Amino acid sequence: MKFYDIFTPGSPPHRKDFLVGRQDDLGKLINYLNSPGIHPIVVGPRGIGKTSLVQFVLDEYKYKSQIEANTVTNFDELARCILDDLGLQSHKLQTLVKETEETKEAKGKLAVAEGKLQHKKKTTESQSGLSNVQLSPQLLKRQLMSFKHESIISIDELDDLEHSDIPLKLAKFAKSCSNQSRWMKQKFIYSGIGRDAHSLFGAHLSSPRNHPVIYLAALKKDDFNFFLNTAEKKLHTVIPRHIRDDIISDADGFPYYMHQVCFHMFEIYEKDRSKVINNEHYAKAKKRAFDEAFSHFLRKYKYTVYRLQDLHKDILREMIVPKKRHYSYPTLEKHLLAECGYSLKDIKKHFRYLMDNGYIAFRKADQTVSLYDALLGPFLRIKLRLKDPQAISEPDMPLFKHLNKSANKIINSDQ
Ligand SMILES: Nc1ncnc2c1ncn2[C@@H]1O[C@H](COP(=O)(O)OP(=O)(O)OP(=O)(O)O)[C@@H](O)[C@H]1O
Ligand SMILES: [Mg+2]
């Protein structure tokens, strides 16, 4: 097994034993899927592991569809992708459209003598002009009801769909499916970045009891250690304890951070042909991880993150160092005024810039600020050079264990 089979910053874990710390969430998800009329929602911050968890379950089903809602233009296209994935689109949809046309004609003004002629024409039209039919929530549901195999449909990336008809129509569809669950063999998992169902569906979801929410929280230290222990065994390589602890502490519970840093660290280490992983490998890996993250998961910040000015960095540093989720704005202002000597006008201006560019969010109710994307924390820590990875304690001394502990204490108290 190679390091890139284990550290997969670009995709969900390749093997099931590399999904760690999600036993409870997995248990809940499976129970919901076994429960009639229940179609769960998986939410959490960016990069916490939503797709990976859903993928884990999807692998168990023979018939499945996996769509990222932000890659289709509207509900019609989304519906077609689902039907395509289940192998339903071509023949069944034609039959349904034909039937609809026939019903319309029967109700209409057609004379019996003309009937046969007209009927023929309509049938041909419906077969050649399928692309003209808009798939409504109702049409999609009826199509799915005709599919009698147990199947699972994941609709992911449901956030960020401001100008799309998908949240509204999908909410209607979801309600309708739950109402007729007895005749449906399909299960849906809806997922995306957010705290609750509202983050994905806005106010449109009218039957929340049918859509319980699983919120994915940060992974724990033990989960990271379990992952890295397995990785070390598979790769027959030890990650020095001080580096491993540092990665885990900086990750803030985000598996993506660990994958990104370790991927590059192993790549550099293997190329270097050294006997052990050292601080230099780690330092270089962090720089690469930073660039990679801002080209992919955090790409919306790519064009601003390299242009941050000193005051922007100082504001962010004030928020990242204490590792709190919410930070008091008045305290932040006071620190910057007293300790850094900036003017109030400048602080407010730079603060506004960070808000406008999606770095931080301000909560009026209690005057607190937080990072808009919690995943920014670990990566900004690299940019703001809060500690020099080259300077953290080396593992090759006799009293290593003891020294390592105190060095870590110093590093942590610096934060
Ligand atoms: N439980 C886990 N154990 C180990 N690695 C994980 C776990 N969950 C996710 N990962 C890894 O973390 C990274 C991010 O995972 P994933 O893409 O599932 O996150 P996400 O929440 O769907 O992200 P996004 O918000 O961008 O959609 C991937 O590299 C994945 O392999
Ligand atoms: Mg995802």
SS3 156: strand
CB 164 less than 6 A from any atom of ligand 1: no
Domain residue limits, the chain? 22-215, 221-297+383-414, 299-372
Q: What is the pLDDT of residue 27?
A: 96
For residue 52, give the ligand nearest its CA.
1
Six-digit token string for 386? 């809060």
Other beta carbons within 10 angstroms of residue 69's beta carbon come to 24
What architecture is the 299-372 domain classified under in CATH? Orthogonal Bundle (1.10)
SS3 259: helix
From CA 196, how far away is CA 207, in angstroms rounded? 14
Task: Please state the atom number of ligand 1 nearest to the C-alpha of residue 157.
Answer: 27
Helix (H) or strand (E) holding 345: helix 344-356
Q: What is the pLDDT of residue 275?
A: 87
Per-residue pLDDT of the chain (415 residues; tens, 9 = 90+): 999 999 999 999 999 889 999 999 999 999 999 998 899 999 999 999 999 999 999 998 999 999 999 999 999 999 999 999 998 864 455 555 555 555 555 555 444 444 444 444 444 444 444 456 788 999 999 889 888 889 999 999 999 888 889 999 999 999 888 888 888 899 999 999 999 999 999 888 877 788 999 999 999 999 999 999 999 999 999 999 999 999 999 999 999 999 999 999 999 999 998 889 999 999 999 999 999 999 999 999 999 999 999 999 999 988 887 676 678 899 888 888 888 888 999 999 999 999 999 999 999 999 999 999 999 999 999 988 766 555 565 544 333 333 333 333 333 333 3
CB 22 less than 6 A from any atom of ligand 1: yes
For residue 15, give the ligand nearest its CA.
1
CB 69 less than 6 A from any atom of ligand 1: no
CATH 3.40.190.80 is held by the domain 22-215: no
Chain centroid to CA 327: how far?
A: 24
Instruction: Give me the residue label for tokens 């995709």.
Output: 11
Helix (H) or strand (E) holding 43: strand 41-44
Q: What is the pLDDT of residue 397?
A: 37
Q: What is the pLDDT of residue 210?
A: 87
How many residues in the chain? 415
For the residues of 105-143, what is the DSSP string, one character each? HHHTT--HHHHHHHHHHHHHHHHH-GGGS---HHHHHHH
Q: What is the pLDDT of residue 407?
A: 34
For residue 215, give the ligand nearest its CA.
1
Helix, strand, coil percent content, the chain, rounded in steps of 5: 60, 10, 35
CB 19 less than 6 A from any atom of ligand 1: yes
Q: Rounded to two decimals, what is the model's pTM?
A: 0.84
Give the residue, by CA position, lying nearest to ligand 1 atom 12.
256
CB 141 less than 6 A from any atom of ligand 1: no
Question: What is the strand order of the sheet 186-193 is part of?
Answer: 63-68, 151-156, 186-193, 41-44, 213-215
From CA 170, how far away is CA 194, in angstroms rounded? 17
Task: Please state the atom number of ligand 1 nearest to the C-alpha of residue 55.
Answer: 18
Tell which one of 51, 219, 300, 376 to mutate to probe ligand 1, the residue whose CB is within 8 A of the most ligand atoms: 51
Instruction: Give me the residue label for tokens 């962090």.
Output: 286
Six-digit token string for 188? 């849906």
**How far is the centre of ligand 2, averaged over its atoms, from the C-alpha of 10 (Å)?**
10
